[in-house]
Homo-oligomer: A and B are copies of this chain.
Amino acid sequence: MPTPLKLYLAGPEVFLPDARAILDAKADLTRVYGFEPICPGDLTIPTAPTKHQFGLNISEVDEGFMNRADGIIANLTPFRGIAADPGTVFELGYMCGAGKIVACYTNVAETHYQRTLAWYGGAISRDAEGRMRGPDGHSLEDFDMIENLMLHGGVARRGGPVRVHAADPERLWTDFISFEQCLKALAERV
């Protein structure tokens, strides 16, 4: 039997009160599709004399996880604002830069553009060149993408699945439909 591909399961789940249960459920589902899951938070972090050094230790452990992994599935569901969790975004970029298998999903159906429009309360105008801008003058991108084009484009251009599912807000972090769609797409590719 071939060694199963290892997938790093990136997402802001680590911050949730029931992080362990959610990560375990995602790990179980990953195994169902023939992959070996690697989750942030799976290893004990070496203690440190300062909280700053402890943070560096977590960074080192999580990068080590990514280095061992063959690919990543990144949960880009908006977290504390209109964008994905920065840690998850960094990890998706890291795996693209390292040439690994990449996939991403979101449980919010609104596009990057729609969320930015809502951030500005709809108060958008066109500049002299026809670019849409918010009241602060910052331009809006509308590329029919779930996130900033570097994220969505980075995955799509590598042939990785980008899956969207409008989850019930009550089940934003426990609805695994789009996550499972990523697993299914990756399993069909292997």
Residues of A bordering B, CB below 8 Å: 12, 14-17, 50-52, 54-56, 58-60, 62-63, 66, 80-87, 89-98, 116, 119, 127, 133, 137-139, 141-145, 147-154, 156-157
Contact = CB atoms under 8 A, between A and B. Distances in A.
Give the oligomeric copy count. Answer: 2
Closest 5 CB pairs of A and B: A59-B153, A93-B93, A55-B143, A97-B97, A81-B81
Given A143-B52, A144-B52, A87 B137 contact: no
Nearest to A144: B52
Q: Chain A binding site: helix, strand, loop or mixed by DSSP? A: helix
Contact of A82 (B80, B89, B96): B80
Nearest to A83: B86
B90 A137 contact: no
A91 B96 CA distance: 10
